[in-house]
């Protein structure tokens, strides 16, 4: 499995992402071909620069024909649908554009239809989005990971007056993602960079386990005092386990000895609905010999704060413990399958696990409808599916 990791030392923008991909092995011809399919006769320049004595790449994008590109959301989406790219890349591009426009609409308090990109930034944005998507596809990336997101802080002058940095649109896009403040008076993350992270990154945290193959290093235009203004793109693969998913997750844990099992079962249900990957209870003895419950939650980094808030709100605990854990799992998918007894949802695992599991609620409904015992209908459906699915 081919993996990549974005080390967001100085933040991220669309052109920084492009330059890092170029440094990691995406050839000039791929970007030339990609930009040739876009309107405006886009051209780009890549220069080698030094950042604190270290080499890095910087890309600048411009367009020969300005003024013909639609800037409003629905017009731009319509244009994207007509472009000569694969459907999967166009679908991702539309999702990224929608996130950017929705964030701008929320920041300005206006309907989506009234928001538009300025001429040059519209060309920039399209080139950044399609360049990154095509570059990741060229490298065969199946899992993209990233570090926490560094945010500078400043106030800048615009045509609308003074506004704070990070830009309100960027903050809207980054909701629920892990961020950290750094002592820099600069824009470290652009709206396009933020949208690319939200759509493309599957997990935020430390560098995942991989066999490292290449590293691409890029930089922006600002010079930072507290750190190098760099983005590093680590390219690698999982050795001998190409079908397995390797990820870093967070375990949220707390001890409870003064709440009823009924209430805790209700809380577990709400936490799963809120996006937890798993919830569990372990009985154990607490101080003064009281029987208690150790409450475990497994979650992705971008869900930790919202799930912790839910635990503190719904239980009597006053704090939680957080621990990063590594998880290796089989890829799985849920399919709806027709059987002689009715339709059921089936969770199927891929290689090397070839098991399947029928959704219990579907088994229960069929058992009630057919006046059968749950164990009898389970045996019949599993026997039928074992022949059909293998």
Q: What is the mean pLDDT of residues 174-200?
A: 94
**Listed residue (1, 2, 5) closest to 197, CA to CA:** 5
Residue 9 has pLDDT above 50, yes or no: yes
Q: At 31, is the secondary structure helix, strand, or coil?
A: helix
Burial class, 102, CB count within 10 angstroms (exposed 0-12 / middle 13-18 / buried 19+):
middle
Task: Identify the pLDDT of residue 119.
Answer: 45
Percent of the chain with pLDDT over 90: 56
- Encode pLDDT of 248-275 as tens digits: 889 999 999 888 889 999 999 999 999 9
Query: How far is residue 91's CA from residue 199's CA, in Å, rounded to a whole number?
Result: 11
Q: What is the mean pLDDT of residues 341-348?
A: 86
b/e burial code for range 138-169 (CB count within 10 A of at least 16 → b) = ebebbbbbbbebbbbeeeeeeeeeeeebbbbb
- Encode pLDDT of 121-133 as tens digits: 678 889 999 999 9
pTM value is: 0.66
- Encode pLDDT of 142-161 as tens digits: 889 999 999 999 888 776 78
- Joined together, the tokens standing for residue 31 give 């970007």
> Higher pLDDT residue, 276 or 357?
276
Task: Identify the pLDDT of residue 243.
Answer: 64
Task: Identify the pLDDT of residue 68.
Answer: 65
Residue 136 has pLDDT above 50, yes or no: yes
Residue 386 has pLDDT above 90, yes or no: no
Task: Identify the pLDDT of residue 214.
Answer: 96
Instruction: Calculate the CA 250 to chain-centre distance.
Output: 15
- Identify each DSSP E strand in 101-210 by its residue range: 143-146, 149-151, 154-158, 161-165, 179-181, 203-204
- Encode pLDDT of 35-83 as tens digits: 999 988 899 999 999 999 999 999 999 888 876 677 788 988 999 999 9
Average pLDDT of the chain is: 89
Q: How far is CA 72 from CA 62, 94, 105, 117, 201, in A?
A: 20, 13, 12, 7, 26
Burial class, 380, CB count within 10 angstroms (exposed 0-12 / middle 13-18 / buried 19+):
middle
């Amino acid at each position: 499995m081919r993996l990549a990791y974005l080390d967001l030392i100085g933040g991220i923008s669309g052109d920084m992402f492009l330059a890092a991909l170029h440094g990691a092995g995406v050839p000039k011809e791929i970007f030339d071909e990609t930009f040739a399919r876009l309107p405006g006769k886009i051209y780009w320049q890549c220069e080698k620069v030094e950042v604190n004595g270290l080499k890095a790449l910087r890309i600048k994008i411009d367009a020969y024909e300005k003024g013909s590109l639609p800037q409003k959301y629905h017009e731009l989406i319509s244009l994207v649908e007509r472009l000569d790219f694969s459907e999967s890349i166009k679908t991702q591009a539309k999702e990224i554009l929608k996130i950017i426009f929705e964030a701008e609409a929320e920041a300005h308090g206006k309907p989506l239809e009234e928001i538009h990109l300025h001429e040059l930034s519209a060309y920039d944005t399209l080139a950044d989005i399609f360049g990154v998507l095509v570059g990741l596809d060229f490298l065969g990336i199946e899992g993209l990971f990233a570090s926490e997101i560094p945010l500078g802080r400043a106030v800048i002058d615009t045509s609308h007056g003074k506004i704070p940095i990070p830009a309100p649109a960027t903050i809207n896009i980054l909701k629920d993602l892990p961020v950290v403040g750094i002592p820099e008076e600069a824009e470290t993350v652009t709206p396009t960079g933020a949208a690319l992270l939200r759509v493309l990154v599957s997990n935020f945290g430390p560098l995942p386990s991989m066999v490292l193959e290449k590293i691409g290093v890029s930089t922006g235009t600002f010079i930072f005092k507290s750190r190098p203004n760099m983005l590093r793109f680590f390219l690698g693969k999982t050795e001998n386990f190409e079908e397995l998913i390797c990820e870093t997750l967070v375990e949220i844990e707390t001890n409870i000895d003064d709440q009823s099992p009924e209430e805790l079962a209700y809380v577990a249900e709400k936490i799963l609905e809120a996006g937890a990957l798993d919830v569990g209870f372990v009985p154990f003895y607490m101080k003064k010999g009281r029987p208690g419950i150790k409450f475990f939650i497994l979650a992705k980094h971008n869900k930790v704060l919202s799930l912790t808030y839910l635990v503190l709100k719904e239980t009597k605990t006053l704090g939680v413990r957080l621990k990063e854990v590594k998880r290796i799992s089989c890829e799985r998918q849920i399919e709806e399958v027709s059987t002689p007894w009715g339709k059921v949802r089936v969770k199927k695992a891929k290689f090397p696990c070839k098991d399947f599991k029928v959704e219990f609620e579907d088994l229960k409904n069929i058992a009630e409808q057919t006046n059968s015992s749950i164990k009898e209908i389970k045996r019949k459906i599993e026997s039928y599916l074992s022949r059909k699915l293998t």
